[in-house]
């Protein structure tokens, strides 16, 4: 079963894929509902065709709101109606002692994983002035409610209903410029404001993911819509690719998330 998972794409978490397939098998054989951990779009895109083709089961995906990036799956016998199955999620609001302070997504993620929680039990984290909102697996809610500090700031945590999510307030900047090519290191250099060699080093040090997949080739070619995640430094989205300038450089527009 789990040991037979072979030929997975580079960067795919074998354990997460195995968990999904085990859930399918158990749901079909025991006629019960099973829940996966959170999956990012890279993993979700890989496993959903497998789940859809698994005989005898249906599924529902949920990340807490319509545009959620990370989602859990509920996998159940195919005679269930998806709308009757609830995915166990909790929406928690983390309030800073300084209501004007803006901390980054990685500050909150670091504080939550420091509680001993696996990353796969944590969904999207939405940061804003004075705090953040985190969508977590229902079984992780009590641990998050015990959080007392984020980046040396005292915090309080409370559970809120999903309709109070502030998804439109995620901080972002738009950057425009030109690059010599659409190589990963060139775009990364422009987005981070660092030299090409430094950008290439980040890639080779395995600190970069493109569309949630680990990439170690600085020359990897990007396309419009690609999302670049930089460990400890946020995320870039290659929003638009414009025309080539007279000097042969490519105009690009980047969205930068902290």
Ranges 27-41, 67-81, 166-180, 219-233: which has the least confidence: 166-180
- Give the C-alpha separation, 69 to 7, whole Å: 25
E strands present in 2-130: 34-35, 57-62, 72-77, 89-96, 122-128
Quick check: 225 pLDDT over 90? yes
CATH class for the region spanning 172-257: alpha beta
For residue 72, CA distances in Å to 4, 12, 101, 121 come to 23, 17, 31, 9
Does residue 171 contact residue 257 with C-beta atoms inside 8 Å?
Answer: yes
The whole-number pLDDT of residue 232 equals 77
Quick check: 131 pLDDT over 50? yes
Residue 188's nearest CA partner among 223, 216, 230 is 230
Q: List, for residues 85-127, the tens digit of each pLDDT value.
A: 999 999 999 999 999 999 988 899 999 999 999 999 999 999 9
Query: What residues have CB less than 8 Å from 198, skipping those under 6 apart?
Result: 189
Q: List, for residues 236-249, the tens digit of each pLDDT value.
A: 999 999 999 999 99
The whole-number pLDDT of residue 2 equals 42
The whole-number pLDDT of residue 237 equals 93
Percent helix, strand and coil across the chain, each to the nearest 5:
30, 35, 35
The whole-number pLDDT of residue 170 equals 63
Order across the sheet with 34-35: list the strands: 34-35, 72-77, 57-62
For residue 143, the tally of other CB atoms under 10 A from its CB is 15
CATH class for the region spanning 89-169: alpha beta
Q: What pTM, to 2 d.p., does this model score?
A: 0.81
Does residue 46 contact residue 76 with C-beta atoms inside 8 Å?
Answer: no
The whole-number pLDDT of residue 7 equals 81
Quick check: 1 pLDDT over 50? no
71 φ, ψ (degrees, to nearest 5): -135, 150
Quick check: 4 pLDDT over 80? no
Q: List, for residues 21-62, the tens digit of each pLDDT value.
A: 999 999 999 999 999 999 999 999 999 999 999 999 999 999
- Name the pLDDT band for 18 (thresholds 50, 70, 90): very high
CATH of the domain spanning 2-84: 3.30.1370.160
Tokens 């460990």 locate to 231
The whole-number pLDDT of residue 169 equals 57
The reply to whether 172-257 shares the fold of 89-169 is no
* Average pLDDT rounded to a whole number, residues 67-76: 95
More confident residue, 172 or 200: 200
Where do the structural domains in the chain lie, given as residue ranges? 2-84, 89-169, 172-257
56 φ, ψ (degrees, to nearest 5): 90, 5
Q: List, for residues 140-193, the tens digit of each pLDDT value.
A: 999 999 999 999 999 999 999 999 999 875 667 899 999 999 999 999 999 999
């Amino acid at each position: 079963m789990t040991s037979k998972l072979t030929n997975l794409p580079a960067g795919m978490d074998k354990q997460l894929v195995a968990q999904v397939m085990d859930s399918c098998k158990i749901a079909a054989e025991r006629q019960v509902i099973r829940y996966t951990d959170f999956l990012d779009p890279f993993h979700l895109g890989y496993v959903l065709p497998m789940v859809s083709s698994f005989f005898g089961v249906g599924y529902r995906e949920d990340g807490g709101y319509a545009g959620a990036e990370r989602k859990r799956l509920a996998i159940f016998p195919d005679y269930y109606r998806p709308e009757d199955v609830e995915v166990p999620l909790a929406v928690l609001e983390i309030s800073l002692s300084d209501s004007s302070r803006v901390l980054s997504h990685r500050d909150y993620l670091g504080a939550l994983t420091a509680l001993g929680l696996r990353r796969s039990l944590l969904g999207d984290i939405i940061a804003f002035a004075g705090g953040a909102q985190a969508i977590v697996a229902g079984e992780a809610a009590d641990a998050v409610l015990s959080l007392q500090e984020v980046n040396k700031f005292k915090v309080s945590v409370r559970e809120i209903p999903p309709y109070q999510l502030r998804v439109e307030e995620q901080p972002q900047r738009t950057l425009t410029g030109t690059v010599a090519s659409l190589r990963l290191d060139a775009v990364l250099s422009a987005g981070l404001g660092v030299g090409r060699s430094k950008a290439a080093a980040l890639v080779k040090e395995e600190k970069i993911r493109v569309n949630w997949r680990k990439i170690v080739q600085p020359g990897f070619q990007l396309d419009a819509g690609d999302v670049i995640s930089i460990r400890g430094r946020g995320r870039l989205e290659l929003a638009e690719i414009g025309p080539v300038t007279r000097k042969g450089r490519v105009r690009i527009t980047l969205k930068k998330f902290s």
